Structure 1
Amino acid sequence: MASMLTTISSTITRLNLLQKGSIFLTTRTLRKPLYQQILLRKNRPNFFVMSTSNYASTLFSTSPNFSKNGTSEDDQLVVLGIETSCDDTAAAVVNSNGEILSQVVSSQADLLAQYGGVAPKMAEEAHSRVIDQVVQEALDKANLREVDLSAVAVTIGPGLSLCLRVGVQKARKIAGRFNLPIVGVHHMEAHALVASYLGYKDQLLNSFLRGHNLLILARDLGQYVQLGTTIDDAIGEAYDKTAKWLGLDMRKSGGPAIEELAREGDAESIKFSTPMKQHKDCNFSYAGLKTQVRLAIESRNINAEIPISSASCQDRSARADIAASFQRVAVLHLEERCERAIDWALKIEPSMKHLVVSGGVASNQYVRARLNQVVKKSNLQLVCPPPGLCTDNGVMVAWTGIEHFRMGRYDPPPPVDEPEDALLDLRPRWPLGEEHAEGRSEARSLRRARIHPSLTSIIQASLQQQQL
């Protein structure tokens, strides 16, 4: 599977990873009748045939293992997915036929509006208040109990550690109590595998989240090459901050608010500089653009305390011009990076056919339109998941859990009496894949170089004090 992702990003080796062609043995007695025996699998292939349903595509192995009654083993997998990496509490139940049995999301829109973005401690408390309810509702809507599950999948990173902990603790309680295997999921890989869920095997996957941007060539499940990453702020962060400074309604996050206001403005009215023009790589940087926007807002005496709904016609026009100018340059930076990444990816995998955009910003129609122009230059197809699968959700976590469970990549059930303060495997920073040689950022190297001299001077001063 040759594909490419743009998402957040250590390779996924914590789980029981088995190389292609190896034998694995699971001795756990799973809840489905099909698994009332020890399973032995060998040389399971990684090629799929797609069968399209109304909602999404269903994936079947080309040579599945069959039970004695003629039913495919994978047909029987039912996985609960739990997602709490940032500001949405989500859970879903998905089976290995690709059917979404339930999907529940509890939004923190009011908190976003109150704090103008994600406040980690507040987000953690919000997750803790609703996690039991969200998971139970997902089970109820699927008309299932925990004993009916084959496994539990949960996001363990990247994300906010306080938030990740809530979901992981809940997943481990369920898995421990009901003797279920647990799959630790990479948040960005989950966004990436939405593409395979929809039936696209070969793609340049380009996932945009509030916390990070990443460009990845996905060659197979768990085999990724990182072409570009975020060196400071991501596009979602830039949208959120700009929306806050312009006094926009943050209940739907900054992206939709900026996109709506930008339609009223002149995108050429303010000449913001495009980030990193001098760096010929695929990395992203939005910190400088944020500073330009803040200065433009200050120079026009725009008061964010006055909401856009109460602004005068002149004030609203000024805000709209800033929103439109910001969006033009922010997306231009994406275009340039994606265009270069496509060139690199095609050299590695000439058969690549798709650019898949996933993550929250993928819902932005302006982003889609501009990137659609980029892919046409290379005769690729732009693929965007449905809005409900673009933003953080439990479906993507459950499906990724199914994909890895099929390959034997999971952990055994946790202890039933695991203490509340147990040390958990949380990965707030978790790279996805191996860094492409050409993708090593000169900007990041310079950034480190600027830091090192100050550290050296501190060490030298400390040594001199000791000598005195």
Structure 2
Amino acid sequence: MLVLGIETSCDETAVGIVEDRFTLRANVIASQVDLHAPYGGVVPEVAARAHLEALLPTIDHALVEAGCGLSDMDAIAVTSGPGLIGALLVGVSAAKGLALAHDKPLVGVNHLRAHVEVAQLEFGALEPPLAALVVSGGHTSIVAMGADGRFRQLGATIDDAAGEAFDKIARFIGLGYPGGPEIDRLARQGDPAAIDFPRAMLHDDSYDMSLSGLKTAVIRYLRKLEAAGQEPDLADVAASFQEAIVDVQVVKTLRAARDEGLERVVLAGGVAANSRLRARFADACEREGLGLVVPSIPLCTDNGAMVAASGANLLAAGTVADLDLGVDPNLPLAG
């Protein structure tokens, strides 16, 4: 069974091909980073136009890499949400056209679910029940995946997503876009204990998180130094800021896993590429005796392989879409 997956939810035009649910045949990404870097963030209209230009060449590239043609596909899978509405429409429209022209089933994929399920390409079947932290530029959620494969939300950020916070602070201190990798690189030169930034909601009874106050605290700290004529150690700022985010995510996720009796944790999403987050989760899960599943970095960021993998699971379960498949920019993971 071959499934082609199309991902255009934000600023990466990506196509993947997966065989029999667990074997990756192709994973091609046309990055838009250079297009959005001058703006310090993703411009939705620019992203949608770039998807239009890049999608068909990216599909062709993936087919060549996989050594097959569209006629060999058993289904066309596509991200239908959440994401930027214009960007999503480009991918869904293309997938509909391919499915109709080649008489193939169409599968609509939840972008967040795909971030979790891409791990099966490296670790095999995920074997729920398990806990997952799905953390990216637009989403930060702790969920439980039941034995029936359905997700239940346990907690989420009540304001900024982690990736959003990374981008905002990176921009404020003059780093490049995207901010997450830049903060990660700079933080390796700093002391994560140098500045005691706040960890909002760390000890409350919920699994929810709040990062807006942390972002404000960093900005106030820097402005206070500026007013006093002092130069900040930006490496220490980056390391301490990053540590505060990581602390909250590790503590909340592991507490949720313990309380729910879940013995495995999946770390998923673009921010899961952060080296400090990966290291802290590895240490914490080892101490707690929990299994940890973390995809390799190329499979953490937005990619077509994750859409193909999730689409293959849906196809195997008999879940396909009609050609009237719509997009939902706010599609939830739970449910």
Q: TM-score, normalised by structure 2?
A: 0.92
Q: Residue in 2 aligned with 1:349?
A: none
Q: What amino acid is the match of 2:208? A: N
Matches of 2:12 and 2:329, distance apart in 1: 16
Structure 2 residue matching 1:323: 3-state secondary structure: helix
Q: Paired residue for 1:270, among 195, 204, 211?
A: 195
- 360-369 or 190-199: which moved more? 190-199
1:58-86 CA-partner distances (Å, limit 9, x unpaired): xxxxxxxxxxxxxxxxxxx1111000111
Q: CA deviation at 1:424?
A: 5.4
Matches of 1:91 and 1:329, distance apart in 2: 35
Q: Paired residue for 1:386, among 296, 312, 321?
A: 296
Alpha carbons 2:202, 2:252 under 8 Å: kept: no
The share of aligned pairs that are identical, in percent, is: 39
Q: Paired residue for 1:220, among 139, 144, 147?
A: 147
The answer to whether structure 1 residue 364 and structure 2 residue 265 are counterparts is no
Distance 1:168 1:193, change over 3 A: same
Alpha carbons 1:281, 1:340 under 8 Å: kept: no
The answer to whether structure 1 residue 84 and structure 2 residue 8 are counterparts is yes
Alpha carbons 1:195, 1:201 under 8 Å: kept: no
Structure 2 residue matching 1:204: 3-state secondary structure: strand
Matches of 2:220 and 2:325, distance apart in 1: 42
Alpha carbons 2:111, 2:307 under 8 Å: kept: yes
Q: What amino acid is the match of 1:201? A: E
Where in structure 1 do 4 or more consecutive aligned residues deviate above 4 Å?
Answer: none
Aligned alpha-carbon RMSD (Å)? 1.9
Q: Paired residue for 2:28, among 95, 99, 104?
A: 104
Q: What amino acid is the match of 2:135? A: F
Q: Paired residue for 2:326, among 404, 410, 425?
A: 425
Greater Cα radius of gyration, structure 1 or 2? 1
Q: Paired residue for 1:236, among 125, 146, 163?
A: 163
Matches of 1:154 and 1:362, distance apart in 2: 22
Q: Residue in 2 aligned with 1:420?
A: none
The answer to whether structure 1 residue 158 and structure 2 residue 68 are counterparts is no
Structure 1 residue matching 2:145: 3-state secondary structure: strand
Distance 1:140 1:357, change over 3 A: same
Q: Paired residue for 1:402, among 312, 318, 333?
A: 312
Q: What amino acid is the match of 2:241? A: F
Q: Residue in 1 aligned with 2:183?
A: 258
Structure 2 residue matching 1:409: 3-state secondary structure: coil
Q: Residue in 1 aligned with 2:45?
A: 121
Matches of 1:220 and 1:394, distance apart in 2: 26
1:268-325 CA-partner distances (Å, limit 9, x unpaired): 33221112246321112211111112222333339xxxxxxxxxxx85x522221111
Q: Paired residue for 2:204, among 263, 267, 279?
A: 279
Q: TM-score, normalised by structure 1?
A: 0.67
Q: What amino acid is the match of 2:158? A: I
Alpha carbons 2:207, 2:252 under 8 Å: kept: yes
> Which structure 1 residue ranges, 5 or more long, are not aligned?
1-76, 303-313, 347-351, 415-422, 435-468
Q: CA deviation at 1:376?
A: 2.8
Q: Residue in 2 aligned with 1:139?
A: 63
Query: How many residues are treated as equivalent by the alignment?
Result: 330
Q: CA deviation at 1:227?
A: 0.7
